[in-house]
Structure 1
Amino acid sequence: MKFDMHTHHERCGHAAGGIREYVEAAIAAGLTVIGISDHSPYFGEEEDHPKPNVAMAKSEFPLYIREVLQIKDMYKDAIEVLLGIESDFFPDYADIYREVYQKYPFDYIIGSVHVSGGKSIFNRRRWTGLTEEQLIKEKQLYYDLIQRSAKSRMFDILGHIDAMKANYPTFVDIKKDIVDQTLQVIAACDVAIEVNTSGKTKRCGGWYPSDETLERALFYGVKVTFGSDAHDPARVGDEWEIVGKRLKEIGFREWVFYRQRRRQAVSL
Structure 2
Amino acid sequence: MKFDFHTHHDRCGHARGKIRDYIEAAIANGLNMIGISDHSPYFASEEDQAHPGIAMAKSSFATYVEEVLALKEEYKTKIDVLLGVESDFFPEHIPLYRKQYAQYPFDYIIGSVHHVNGINIFNRDRWDGLTKEEIKQTKDRYYDLIAQSAKSGLFQILGHIDAMKGFYPVFSQIETEEIERALKIIGEYPVAIEINTSGKTKDCGGWYPSDEILEKALYYGVKVTFGSDAHDPERVGDDMEEVRQRLKEIGFNDWAYFKEQQMVLTSL
TM-score, with structure 2 as normaliser? 0.99
Taking the aligned partners of 1:181 and 1:44, their CA distance within structure 2 comes to 29
Unaligned runs of 5+ in 1: none
Letter in 1 for 2:140: Q
Aligned match of 2:199 = 199
> Residues 1-47 of structure 1: CA distance to partner in whole angstroms, max 9, x if unpaired?
10000000000000000000000000000100000000000001011
Does the 8 Å CA contact 2:136/2:176 hold for their aligned counterparts? no
Taking the aligned partners of 1:56 and 1:220, their CA distance within structure 2 comes to 35
3-state SS in 2 of match to 1:209: coil
Aligned match of 1:233 = 233
Aligned match of 1:184 = 184
Taking the aligned partners of 2:160 and 2:106, their CA distance within structure 1 comes to 20
Taking the aligned partners of 2:8 and 2:257, their CA distance within structure 1 comes to 17
Taking the aligned partners of 1:18 and 1:58, their CA distance within structure 2 comes to 18
Taking the aligned partners of 1:45 and 1:175, their CA distance within structure 2 comes to 35
**1:266: how far off?**
1.4
**1:228: how far off?**
0.1
Aligned match of 2:90 = 90
> Residues 160-186 of structure 1: CA distance to partner in whole angstroms, max 9, x if unpaired?
000000001111111231110000011
3-state SS in 1 of match to 2:187: helix
3-state SS in 1 of match to 2:265: strand
3-state SS in 2 of match to 1:221: coil
Q: Percent identity?
A: 62
**1:132: how far off?**
1.1
Aligned match of 1:220 = 220
Matches within 5 A, 1:14-93: 14-93=14-93
Matches within 5 A, 1:149-168: 149-168=149-168
Letter in 2 for 1:132: K
Taking the aligned partners of 1:234 and 1:52, their CA distance within structure 2 comes to 23
**1:129: how far off?**
2.3
Letter in 2 for 1:62: A
Taking the aligned partners of 2:176 and 2:187, their CA distance within structure 1 comes to 17
Taking the aligned partners of 1:22 and 1:264, their CA distance within structure 2 comes to 23
Aligned match of 1:247 = 247
Letter in 1 for 2:174: I
Aligned match of 2:133 = 133
Letter in 2 for 1:191: V
1:112 equivalent in alignment to 2:83? no
Following TM superposition, the consecutive aligned residue runs of length 4 or more in structure 1 with deviations greater than 3 angstroms are: none
Does the 8 Å CA contact 2:32/2:80 hold for their aligned counterparts? yes
3-state SS in 2 of match to 1:41: coil
Does the 8 Å CA contact 2:6/2:228 hold for their aligned counterparts? yes
Letter in 2 for 1:143: Y
**1:128: how far off?**
1.4
Letter in 2 for 1:236: V
Aligned residues between the structures:
268
- Root-mean-square deviation (CA, aligned residues, Å) is 0.6
Taking the aligned partners of 1:110 and 1:257, their CA distance within structure 2 comes to 12
Taking the aligned partners of 1:117 and 1:236, their CA distance within structure 2 comes to 32
